[in-house]
Amino acid sequence: MKNKSFLKEEYKLSWNYLKECKNYIWIIVGIFFVFVLIGYFIPAPESIKIQIMKFIQDIVKQTDGMSQLRLINFIFLNNFQSSFFGLILGAGLGIFPIFATVGNGYLLGFVGAMSVKEAGILSLWRIFPHGIFELPAVFISFGLGLKFGSFIFQKKKKDLFLYYLNSSLRVFVFIVVPLLIIAGIIEGSLIFLFG
């Protein structure tokens, strides 16, 4: 019973802080989709194209021949790391989450354009299930990171730093991590079954 009320209280605090951060999360969502469109419609310079292709090939090599469980684990850990660092490194004026959002958005747009070129517009539906849980988790983490970086512009810097840090970590544990677990299971299973 004690555990139940503890969890209930933690979730309540998490959702309250999430509401407090909603404008920052929407900023991240906006930046992300602007760069998805840029990545999709504006052809990448050759040097960037080579770097992205190398990055994709490296991931394909790393995951080649993995069992379903190892794939799920690999995807979860990758998403966990980028979400966590996006949140924590946001303390530096929110710069890291913005750059990470730009990079992720551009990469998704680029991959989407390549998929359409290779296999037609319907190929985008294959990408869609991968982001249902992963993208909200990443948007929340990066939005929290952006809010975290705003402590420096406030009067009670130390108090707000600790409040933002504690509240962000609570949301990360109780909301982001469960989303990332579900995302890892869905993505890992889809990649294992359909390639």
Q: Decide which of 126 and 78 is more confident.
A: 78
Question: What pLDDT is recorded for position 138?
Answer: 96
Torsion angle defined by CA atoms of residues 130, 127, 122 and 30, in that order, rounded to the nearest 10 degrees: 100
Query: Where are the chain's structural domains?
Result: 2-194
Q: How far apart are the first and last CA of the chain?
A: 44
Token output for 166: 């504690």
Q: For the CA atoms of the chain, what is the radius of gyration?
A: 18
Question: What pLDDT is recorded for position 123?
Answer: 63
Mean pLDDT of 123-134: 74
Contact between residue 90 and residue 148 where contact means Cβ atoms under 8 Å apart: yes
Question: What pLDDT is recorded for position 1?
Answer: 61
Global pTM exceeds 0.85 = yes
Question: What pLDDT is recorded for position 14?
Answer: 95
Question: What pLDDT is recorded for position 195?
Answer: 60
Asked if residue 105 has pLDDT above 90, the reply is yes
Residue type, 153: F
How does residue 33 score in pLDDT terms, banded at 50, 70 and 90? Answer: very high
Token output for 121: 């517009």
